[in-house]
Amino acid sequence: FPEAVDIPELPQAFRRTLNQSFAFIYDVSSVGFLAAIGLAVGTGDLLGWVILLFILGMRVAVPYAYAGFAHNLQLYAWALVVQARPLRGAERIAAWVRAYWPLLLCGMMTCITHETGRCDLFPSPVAFARFRFY
């Protein structure tokens, strides 16, 4: 029998990339699975809201580095679902934003957290800042 070959330890950067790729695949496939099940079962106009809450809940509850790329694909999958099943109450929300956009803008400006850097690559340790960003 040939002797076992000693494989050197994987470089740190490769291990980090491998770990992030598993999180990336999980994030994107979980939203795709949720959308496929919801569309196959024939849910109504609440499916888009459920998927949106799942996406935002995962981003706020489980921060990890370089999540912005997976988040963009999740939003793309969510948009495909919303095209198939429009959101419940979308017309009311659009009318409210059109009527009260100055108040909405002032409210958004008061939520500034004064953090620096790219929040999509390195998320904030504070849950409120992650919620505000995503």
Q: Which whole number is the average pLDDT over 94-104?
A: 94
Residue 5 has pLDDT above 50, yes or no: no
* In contact, 134 and 59? CB cutoff 8 Å: yes
pLDDT band at 1 (very low <50, low <70, confident <90, very high): very low
Q: At what angle do helices 68-84 and 47-61 cross, to 10 degrees?
A: 170
pLDDT band at 90 (very low <50, low <70, confident <90, very high): very high
CA distance 119 to 98: 28
Percent of the chain with pLDDT over 70: 86
pLDDT at site 22: 78
Q: Which helix (H) or strand (E) holds 97?
A: helix 90-99
pLDDT band at 8 (very low <50, low <70, confident <90, very high): low
The 10s digit of each residue's pLDDT in 28-39 is: 889 989 999 988
And the tokens for 116?
């620096």
The 10s digit of each residue's pLDDT in 29-67 is: 899 899 999 888 877 889 999 999 999 898 888 887 778
And the tokens for 101?
């956009």
SS3 content of the chain, % helix, strand, coil (to 5): 65, 0, 35
* In contact, 32 and 58? CB cutoff 8 Å: no
CA distance 60 to 19: 19
Q: Read off the pTM.
A: 0.76
